[in-house]
Structure 1
Amino acid sequence: MLPWNRIRRSVAALLLVATATLVPAATAQASDAPSSGWNNWSCKPSASHPRPVVLVHGTLGNSVDNWLGLAPYLVKRGYCVFSLDYGQLPGVPFFHGLGPIDKSAEQLDAFIDKVLDATGAAETDLVGHSQGGMMPRHYLKFLGGAAEVNALIGIAPDNHGTTLSGLTKLLPYFPGAEDLLSTATPGLADQITGSDFLTKLNEGGDTVPGVRYTVLATKYDQVVTPYRSGYLEGPDVRNVLLQDLCPVDLSEHLAIGLFDRIAFHEVANALDPAHAKPTTCASAFS
Structure 2
Amino acid sequence: MTRSPMVRALRGLRRLPGTALILVVLSTLWTTAAGAARADYPVDYNFFAGIPYELRNPGGSLPGANDWSCRPSAAHPEPVVLVHGTGGGAQTNWGVYAPLLANEGYCVYSLTYGAYDLPWPLSAIGGMRPVQDSSAQLAAFVDRVRAATGATKVDLIAHSQGNLVGNYFVKRLGGSDKVDKFVAIAAPWLGTFGPVIDPARNFARGLGAGPAFEAMLGVTPCAACAQMTGTSDFMKSLNADGVYDPNVTYTNIETRYDELVVPYTVALVPGPKTTNILVQDGCDADYSEHAGIAGSDRAAAFALNALDPDHPRTPPCHFIPPLTG
TM category, shorter: 0.7 to 0.9
Over alpha carbons, which structure has the higher Rg?
2
Looking at structure 1, the residues matched to 80 and 301 of structure 2 have their Cα atoms a distance apart, in angstroms, of: 15
Q: How does 1:197-208 map to 2 (within 5 A)?
A: 197-208=234-245
Partner of 2:81: 54
What residue is the counterpart of 2:157 in the other structure?
127
State how far apart, in whole Å, the 2-side matches of 1:166 and 1:128 are. 16
Q: Please point out which of 123, 128, 151 is paired with 1:98.
A: 128
Q: Which amino acid aligns with 1:184?
A: P
Relative to structure 1, the CA distance from residue 235 to residue 128 in structure 2 (aligned partners, 3 Å threshold; closer, same or farther) is same
Aligned to 2:176: 146
| Alpha-carbon offset, residue 47 of structure 1 | 0.5
Deviation string 1:22-57 (CA, Å, 9 cap, x unpaired) is x859552553533x1111110000000011000001
1:278 alignment partner in structure 2: 314
State the alpha-carbon separation in 2 of the partners of residues 102 and 245 from structure 1: 38
Q: Deviations over 1:178-221 (max 9, x none)?
A: xx999722111111111111111111211112100011000111
User: Where in structure 2 are there 5+ consecutive unaligned residues?
Assistant: 1-46, 198-216, 321-325
Q: Corresponding residue for 1:256?
A: 293
Letter in 2 for 1:147: D
2:297/2:316 contact within 8 Å kept: no
2:151 paired with 1:114: no
Change (3 A) 1:245 1:41: farther
Shift of residue 230, structure 1, vs aligned partner:
1.4
Superposed counterparts of 1:23-38, under 5 Å: 27=52, 28=54, 29-34=57-62, 36-38=63-65
Distance 1:102 1:30, change over 3 A: farther
Contact 2:196 2:225 in 1 (8 A): no
Cα distance per residue 1:204-258 (max 9 Å; x no partner) = 211112100011000111111111111233210111101014221111111111x
Matched residue of 2:143: which SS?
A: helix
1:30–1:130 Cα change, 3 Å = farther
Aligned pair count reads 248
| Partner SS for 1:115 | helix
Alpha-carbon distance between aligned partners in 2 of 1:182 and 1:228, rounded to the nearest angstrom: 34
What's 2:21 paired with?
none
Corresponding residue of 2:269: 232
Secondary structure of residue in 2 paired with 1:128: strand
Q: Normalising by the residue count of structure 1, what TM-score does the alignment of the two structures yield?
A: 0.81
SS at match of 2:81: strand
| Distance in 1 of aligned mates of 2:232 and 2:141 | 26
Question: Counterpart of 2:214?
Answer: none
SS class of match (2:82): strand
User: 1:31 and 1:212 mapped to 2: Cα distance?
Assistant: 31
Unaligned runs of 5+ in 1: 1-22, 168-179
- Is the Cα–Cα contact under 8 Å of residues 30 and 62 in structure 1 kept in the other structure? no
Aligned-residue RMSD, C-alpha: 2.4
| Contact kept? 1:182, 1:189, Cα under 8 Å | no
Q: CA deviation at 1:86?
A: 0.4
1:88 to 115, 125, 128: 115
Q: CA, structure 1 residues 223+41, in 2 after alignment: closer, same or farther (shift >3 Å)?
A: same
User: Would the aligned equivalents of 1:242 and 1:263 in 2 still touch at CA under 8 Å?
Assistant: yes
Seen in structure 2, the aligned counterparts of structure 1 residues 245 and 118 have a Cα distance that, compared at 3 Å, is farther
Contact kept in structure 2, 1:32 and 1:39, CA below 8 Å: no
CA contact (8 A) 2:285 2:318 kept: no
Note the C-alpha offset of 1:123: 0.5
Tell me, yes or no, if structure 1 residue 72 matches structure 2 residue 102: no
Instruction: Indicate the residue corresponding to 1:170 in structure 2.
Output: none
Using the size of structure 2 for normalisation, the TM-score is 0.72
Report how far residue 159 of structure 1 moved.
1.2
